[in-house]
Amino acid sequence: MTGLDDDGAAVPASIQRSPPSDAVVRSAADDDHQPISAEDARALIQAIASLAQMADRALPARVDPLTARLANHLGPIDGTVANTSTTFGLFERVNLQLAMNAYSDEVAAFELVGLPADIGQ
């Protein structure tokens, strides 16, 4: 059976809304939308989760390029590698850049890999 949506367009029976139950989900951002029942909200969430699972199975696994470079350089990473992070103040970044420039002039091979300063704040 086909129904009509709020604008009068045909809606297949497979995706028509059921009458709202006692528990309804409302959009906090836009009160112009009709509330949907908790049952319909659960069905939508299950459909989205199912779609995400199908996509995971269908798409090849994505390997982060930085992770691949590190594994190439360090060998397989087994979870025992310690994470290290530091934050430099804006005034210290100039000195850090000067130090890296000086070091890169002294060694045969040097490549800096990291985040741009505006992202790493």
| pLDDT tens track for 45-78 | 999 999 999 998 898 888 888 778 878 888 877 7
Determine if residue 84 is left, alpha or beta; phi over 0 gives left, psi from -120 to 50 gives alpha, anything else beta. beta
Predicted confidence at residue 66, as pLDDT, reads 78
3-state helix, strand, coil in the chain (%, to 5): 40, 5, 50
Query: Is residue 44 pLDDT above 90, yes or no?
Result: yes
Question: In this model, does residue 115 exceed pLDDT 60?
Answer: yes
| Under 8 Å between Cβ of 29 and 12 | no
> pLDDT tier at 9 (50, 70, 90 boundaries)?
low
Rg of the chain in Å (alpha carbons): 27
How many other CB atoms are found less than 10 A from the CB of residue 40? Answer: 19
pLDDT at site 49: 94
Q: How far apart are the first and last CA of the chain?
A: 56
Rank 18-32, 47-61, 81-95 by mean pLDDT and report only the highest.
47-61
Residue 28, pLDDT > 90, answer no
Closest CA to 4 of 56, 44, 115, 12: 12
| Residue 36 and residue 20 in contact, taking contact as beta carbons nearer than 8 Å | yes
What is the predicted pLDDT for the residue at 1? 45
Percent of the chain residues past pLDDT 70, beyond the cut: 64
> Which pLDDT value is given to residue 96?
87
